[in-house]
Amino acid sequence: MIELRGVCKRVPSGTSTLTILHPLDLTIPSGRVVAITGPSGSGKSTLLGLLAGLDSPSDGHVTLDGVDITALDEDALARLRGQRIGFVFQFFHLLPSLTAMENVLVPMEIAGVKQPARRAATLLADVGLADRTHHYPSQLSGGEQQRVAIARALANDPPLLLADEPTGNLDSQTGRQIIELLLEVNRARQTKIVLVTHDPELAALADVTV
């Protein structure tokens, strides 16, 4: 479960203070898909960064499965992200010099997972890329690159997946395939998914819209 209590974010702006995220209370039960929507500048990506522990709130607390991540130091946050949070981005952020298989292997090798190659192959097969494991990002379509990114995000079997505009750089048909893949991840693994989206079709499929 994710709990936000009185979470807000303010930053200096000249001689005044700018509120990026107004005080927010939110509870996300395990196994749910939550869509964060709203116009540009409304604090969507800021909220995602707070959930990931990539940024600290000005006030309030963020709790992930009973752990108050706002109380953790940087080393503890890094361990938590490596073990419990997967990330999917709009622009994929794959390492261009590595194959699809190698991109998925990276987080597992960092975490010291046993038999990482077998797990990486299974994950790529799960996202429909069993025959593309040795291709480089430049040899893959946008949809295929996002599938690799999802496999990489699931490498350490995190209970939470954060996705920032996961269909924003894809055509509508490919975007729909990625939506269905994310929903299948949620159903099969009971993974909590929190995503930022401008796509009303994607938001409508979530259990909760914020």
Q: What is the number of other CB atoms lying within 10 angstroms of the CB of residue 29? A: 12
Q: How does strand 160-164 pair with strand 208-209?
A: unpaired
Res. 189 pLDDT band, cuts 50 70 90: confident
pLDDT in tens, 80-114: 888 889 988 888 889 999 999 999 999 888 888 88
Q: Give per-residue burial for 176-195: e unless 16+ CB within 10 Å, then b.
A: bebbebbeebbeebebbbbb
Res. 60 pLDDT band, cuts 50 70 90: very high
If you average pLDDT over every residue of the chain, what do you get? 88
24 burial via Cβ count (<10 Å: 0-12, 13-18, 19+): middle
Q: Which residues pair with 17 in a beta bridge?
A: 12
Res. 43 pLDDT band, cuts 50 70 90: confident
**Percentage helix, strand, coil for the chain under 3-state DSSP, each rounded to 5:** 40, 25, 35
Q: Is the pLDDT of residue 170 over 90?
A: no
